[in-house]
Chain A
Amino acid sequence: MTEIVLTIDGKEVRAAPGETVLAAAQRADIYIPTLCHHEKLEAFGGCRLCMVEVESRGWTSYVVSCLYPVAKDIVVRTRSEKVDKIRKVLVEELMAHAPDAPELIRLAEEYGADRDRFEREASFCILCGLCVRYCNEVKQKNAVSFFDNGAVREIKFVPEIAKEECWDCQECFTICPTSYAQAAYLLTEALAFPGQRKSHTHKTHTPTIIPIIPVAVNSR
């Protein structure tokens, strides 16, 4: 099998054809931040945080490493002035919705993002879609989904299905970077089927709800 040789941050990396730049980087212990990426799920390309600078045949372009395929002789830079600015602004945009999310706070520190830069709209959901895709691809229940389009896009639980499936699973609650999924489920239950959730395992143990602990922030 032909190997592909590329350069990431000055380091020579060998990759298999069809591998993504992100996968190749991770194998070479080169860190690229991600938010909507998960090893059990198909790459989404939604959060854009994994964007890297790629120089190929004299052209420089900016691509999402989770989807961009490795190619011979490309030079990849995971940090640069432009890449850092992209990540900074993206984090600022996301913090307008979820200012206390631990991952965002970590990224904000690294990239000098100002959590108050943009107009607040504290919906808490950053639409990374991890819960939706997990429920669709791994659990294959489709109990939670995207609705609507554009800035008013939301992630909501489908009451008819959530009622039957969610209590025994709860796996998307820990995947959610902002603890929104858990809150959304509880709200859906309270409004649509209060006291009527189905559970087949409650006799053996009561699953615990992960508490949402606000992260202490160093005031600026």
Chain B
Amino acid sequence: MRLDLFQEPIMDAMGNYMTRLSKRQQIVASNLANIDTPGYRTRDISFHATMEELLSQSPIPLRASHVEHNTMSSLAFAPLEPEVFTVSGLPLRADRNNVDLDREMLKLSETSFGFSVMAQLLRGKFRTLASAINDGRA
């Protein structure tokens, strides 16, 4: 008997998504730190991710031997590194820098909010599991 509480791939995906958001926060912080660096261009990671990115599969693809089986492995493989791109279409200033303060501030709060939503949702998931273990008592 395999005691695996966390068969749902969604919980892994949520964790990986939080990693991605904290990565994005690093990028935004780096944009803000370099707001006066000549020649620096704004970088970004997309706020949303595909499920493939959030759940990088094991090297050997699992085959479902039963319809109810989930082909996604719950074994945590490190997700793919999100692609960092330079943002195009922002007006360049005289020092060839294109960091827009307000845009970065918006990204800062967007990312932070997304992160706390995920933290809350994950907490809910854990609570549901805990109540299953404790006979329905929360």
- Do A and B make up one complex? no
Interface residues in chain B, defined as those with a beta carbon under 8 Å from any beta carbon in chain A:
none
Interface residues in chain A, defined as those with a beta carbon under 8 Å from any beta carbon in chain B:
none
